[in-house]
Structure 1
Amino acid sequence: MGFLRARHDEAPVLGCDPADLAAVEQVVVRSGTSFGKGMRILPPDRRYGMYAVYAFCRLVDDVADDAGEAEDKCRRLEEWRARIARLYAGEARDGIDRVLMATIRRFGLRHEDFTAVIDGMEMDARGPVIAPDEATFDLYCDRVASAVGRLSVRVFGDSSPAADQVAYHLGRALQITNILRDVAEDARLGRLYLPRELLERFNIPPEPAAVVRAPTLEQVGRILAGRAHDHFRAAAAAMARCDRTAMRPARLMGATYAAILAAQERQGWKTPEHRVSLSRPRKVLIALRALVG
């Protein structure tokens, strides 16, 4: 495990038992994501705080993605609402609870941001999202991405209004990028996150399978990519008003996803089943530029 074992004269990370820290880190490791590596730039308390936030997001997302019935998934998400409420009341029942509660207290995380993430997962849990209207599309992006950002910037070390603006814009930029990259994969799962109004504008039926084959998907992709670029620029402007050190992880995520979006634009949307990715050397170069630039 990557946590630092405290010497006798050092306080433990987040005041937590190493076994509890290992529990949240294991959720990150099992996910197979590169998230854990990216958070290594943070000092231990903030790193494990982010592991705890990630563990929460991963576990509620797993509920939404489960193959079970909608009623059962919504019931399990309600259990998560109750679980978060207990943490704010000072009750923790397992290792993940204890690290998450320590993170909430140490960094002043807001209850409503956790609730918003659960609300976003419930949108998926109640049935596949298919061609939401523009207002619902924006609400979904706020709940599943920007709300996570509002939790994250506080753990990073900035709770200012400008940091919330970073979360607002960067969350939307990242989520739109994911949606544009995953059109074909989402369609295979019966999902379609592209806004209904854009599909209608380009005469695309609001059906997952139809979108993948639509010749005018290219135009829809270009318009949404433009929106994502606007959000990336607004996020960068907000970061300039924030604590520079605290924004290092946000700059790293923004630079990585902006590169993914650029790669998607170069490929276009004629073959959406070909999912774009970045090479490891490219990721390293992006990280270096983001962290020292």
Structure 2
Amino acid sequence: MNQVDDPRTNSRTITKQSGSNFYYAFLFLPKPKREALYAVYAFCRLSDDLVDETTAGANPADALTRWRRTLDTAIEDGVDSPVMNAVGRAARQFHIPKVYFEELLNGMEMDLARARYGTFEELYLYCYRVASIVGLICIEIFGYTNPLTKTYAEQLGIAFQLTNILRDVRVDAQRGRIYLPQDDLRRFGYSEEELLAGRYNHAFTELMRFQCERAHDFFRAASAALTAEDERSLLAAEIMRAIYYRLLLRIEAQRYDVFHGDITIGKPRKLLLAGGLWLRSALSPRPQPH
């Protein structure tokens, strides 16, 4: 990847070019927070690429180990990596615990070690590491006062990752990965062979209906943990929640057929959601201190 000298520009470019939902959520933030979040997203994107997009003959485990060492140095000082320099700056500026970044890499490493999950409890750990941890990093940048906001970030992260998993069943299967828990496949009588072959049938729709309801549960749990005093500072997270929730509704509206065609939310719709929530936040009265 071509890296420019300014780490903030580099991180911003990676985030924008990815087409990620995160980009639209960050648009209305003050510049220092926006640039820090671009750095975090770019770190996540590049870490994921080390696992998923390795070149022939490359060893992703070795690459991840080197990336960890670069992170260690970047948090304390500067390194020869624009993105890592931006991550280190963000971590120091917003007092983000280093263990969050390490745990995120532990989640990426799970993709190297396993391609199946026996139970939802096993999958939960993966989702926590690759998504909830991102939420916990983000709220340090957003700012918050109520400790319950950490529960909000964790639950919302699980909801996001489950939605991603449901949307990407076909793409993951093409990589030989199945994130839907094995015991759920057995419960609904849908085989691993059918999933890998992209078989769309009644058993699959019932399996997906169950998985979507589980994702709804986590969206509801996140909403229940959102406190009035932190709602304004969590506007970016709420924009992401709105986009991901509509993605989940889109999966349901297409009768769970994720094998044929892509399920996405268009850019105009994302901008409309982001702008609408920003306007509502700007016009709403600020909560009064007790």
TM-score range relative to shorter protein = 0.7 to 0.9
**Structure 1 residue 43: deviation in Å?**
0.4
**Structure 1 residue 80: deviation in Å?**
1.8
**Structure 1 residue 28: deviation in Å?**
2.1
Q: Distance in 1 between matches of 2:21 and 2:54?
A: 25
Tell me, yes or no, if the aligned pair for 1:133 and 1:196 is still in contact at 8 Å: yes
Q: Residue 112 of structure 1 corresponds to which residue in structure 2? A: 99
Aligned to 1:261, which of 240, 248, 263?
Answer: 248
Give the TM-score of the pair, scaled to structure 1. 0.85
Q: Residue 129 of structure 2 corresponds to which residue in structure 1? A: 143
Q: Distance in 1 between matches of 2:56 and 2:146?
A: 40
2:201 aligned with 1:199? no
2:238 aligned with 1:251? yes
Q: Residue 165 of structure 1 corresponds to which residue in structure 2? A: 151
Q: Deviations over 1:210-260 (max 9, x none)?
A: 564453111111111111111111111222255222110011000111111
Q: Distance in 1 between matches of 2:126 and 2:56?
A: 21
Aligned to 2:112, which of 111, 120, 125?
Answer: 125
Unaligned runs of 5+ in 1: 1-17
Q: Secondary structure at the match of 1:42?
A: coil
Give the TM-score of the pair, scaled to structure 2. 0.86
Q: Residue 139 of structure 2 corresponds to which residue in structure 1? A: 153
Q: Residue 90 of structure 1 corresponds to which residue in structure 2? A: 77
Q: Distance in 1 between matches of 2:58 and 2:125?
A: 22
**Structure 1 residue 93: deviation in Å?**
3.2
Q: Root-mean-square deviation (CA), in Å? A: 2.4
Tell me, yes or no, if the aligned pair for 2:25 and 2:237 is still in contact at 8 Å: no
Tell me, yes or no, if the aligned pair for 2:169 and 2:178 is still in contact at 8 Å: yes
Q: Greater relative contact order: 1 or 2 (C-alpha under 8 angstroms, separation 6 or more)?
A: 2
Aligned to 2:218, which of 225, 231, 241?
Answer: 231
Q: Distance in 1 between matches of 2:258 and 2:85?
A: 46
Q: Distance in 2 between matches of 1:159 and 1:121?
A: 30
Task: Judge which range, 114-123 or 42-51, deviates more.
Answer: 114-123
Identity level (%): 32
2:8 aligned with 1:21? yes
**Structure 1 residue 160: deviation in Å?**
4.5
Q: Residue 9 of structure 1 corresponds to which residue in structure 2? A: none
**Aligned counterparts, 1:175-186, within 5 A:** 175-186=161-172
Q: Secondary structure at the match of 2:178?
A: coil
Q: Distance in 1 between matches of 2:80 and 2:229?
A: 36
Q: Deviations over 1:15-52 (max 9, x none)?
A: xxx82322222322443435334312110100000011
Cα 1:159–1:79 change in 2 (3 A) is farther
Q: Residue 37 of structure 2 corresponds to which residue in structure 1? A: 50
Q: Deviations over 1:188-225 (max 9, x none)?
A: 22221101111010112234415644531111111111
Q: Residue 66 of structure 2 corresponds to which residue in structure 1? A: 79
Which residue identity is paired with 1:83?
T
Task: Judge which range, 220-229 or 88-97, deviates more.
Answer: 88-97
